[in-house]
Structure 1
């Protein structure tokens, strides 16, 4: 059975997260894939301002740091034992070995070859609130998020940019693509984020196959945000 990594779809993670996929792995029973049931009100005990040590600035709707830290610090995982595990700061594989030693299921959140991948995310209040609260749904929300993955180590250098916008209830999916009510192509559909549309993908270098969509893409409708908003 095809297993979707939680991380790359937003992580949230990633946002995101987070959308990697593999046909070889099946998550353990106590680890769920990220679907609509996961969009509960997970929020921290206290309001955060500025950047935390994992790289999140919830108040500014921004993340800047190592990809692995996006999983460790995301409020979505507040009930998971790895939540707010000490952040990765470039220690290399010894950090990974210790992390997996504590949480053997963590290999289902991201592959170790992305340990040194960095990530910049931006989103709006409609997608995740400044308190880190995920809504019950994104459909008709005017929410959006961008992911910019970057890797530069050991003569390997690549980047992957992806923009995602919330679908409207009048939009529909056909053959893996989103269309509006007039039949105009809007963007790419993804199982891990069934209410979000990928409307732009930009790659540089040899992007790993692990990413959900590695082909460059630009929506013929619009690669921006404005045309996807609900009418006032």
Structure 2
């Protein structure tokens, strides 16, 4: 194919509120086998591992850099999506997912001190790297970076265009906004900013 990687837009939709909840271990440090470092508020690993056991069971997926399909056997590729072999880095703040269990429910807290994410100051970033085979038969790399925030109000979309009428930002998951996205795919002819809302800093939201 030539052009934008076909499932980039859908990858983020799969992520939903997807930093996978975990039984609270406030004193644990470092990265676990799936790629999470909850104390440092970061995930770094292959895309399907973000969901932990739900996608990959007890054995994390081991991908292959500079490969469209990675380690998915050819006879199984109809059952898997090409996004399996996408490298993913997620970062978030304590309001999105804390590294503490203050309410004693055995899980790390979300939007602590608030009934919902609205007004909590929560934010999340995604940085994804993947590959595809172009019309020239060669492997080409794409990268996508996005910032997501929980504003202090419920987004409004009276004209049903998918964008918040107040800020102009793209609405995602009903109550969140995409304040910046950057997509680069040199072979496909894509370079730079897709979405940029002013202000683009997390502190303004």
**Is TM > 0.5 for Structure 1 vs Structure 2?**
yes
In the alignment, structure 1 residue 177 sits paired with structure 2 residue 163: yes
Quote the residue 2:149 is aligned against.
165
Distance 1:170 1:46, change over 3 A: closer
- Unmatched segments (≥5 aa) in structure 2: 1-8, 64-69, 101-107, 133-137
Quote the residue 2:95 is aligned against.
126
Instruction: Name the SS of the counterpart of 1:8 in structure 2.
Output: helix
In the alignment, structure 1 residue 225 sits paired with structure 2 residue 202: yes
Q: How does 1:1-232 map to 2 (within 5 A)?
A: 8-9=12-13, 11=15, 14-15=18-19, 42-44=21-23, 46-47=25-26, 48-72=28-52, 80=54, 82=55, 84-90=57-63, 92-94=71-73, 97=76, 112-131=81-100, 132-135=108-111, 137-152=116-131, 155-169=139-153, 171-174=155-158, 175-180=161-166, 185-190=167-172, 193-205=173-185, 216-219=194-197, 221-228=198-205
Instruction: Name the SS of the counterpart of 2:34 in structure 1.
Output: coil
Task: Work out which of the two has the higher radius of gyration on C-alpha atoms and give 1 or 2.
Answer: 2
- Any idea what the Cα deviations from partners look like across 1:4-26, whole Å, max 9, x if unmatched? x996347265449xxxxxxxxxx
Instruction: Name the SS of the counterpart of 2:82 in structure 1.
Output: helix
Q: CA deviation at 1:148?
A: 0.6
Q: CA deviation at 1:147?
A: 0.4
- Any idea what the Cα deviations from partners look like across 1:54-81, whole Å, max 9, x if unmatched? 11101111011111111226xxxxxx5x
- Number of residue pairs the alignment of both structures matches: 170
CA distance in 2, matches of 1:172, 1:162: 21
Q: CA deviation at 1:172?
A: 2.7
TM-score, normalising length from structure 2?
0.68
State whether residues 160 and 207 of structure 1, in contact with CA within 8 Å, keep that contact through their aligned partners in structure 2.
no
CA distance in 1, matches of 2:184, 2:10: 24
Instruction: Name the SS of the counterpart of 1:178 in structure 2.
Output: coil
- Unmatched segments (≥5 aa) in structure 1: 17-41, 74-79, 101-106, 209-214
- Any idea what the Cα deviations from partners look like across 1:157-183, whole Å, max 9, x if unmatched? 101111001121265334321244xxx
RMSD of equivalent CA atoms: 3.5
CA distance in 1, matches of 2:97, 2:187: 27
State whether residues 144 and 225 of structure 1, in contact with CA within 8 Å, keep that contact through their aligned partners in structure 2.
yes
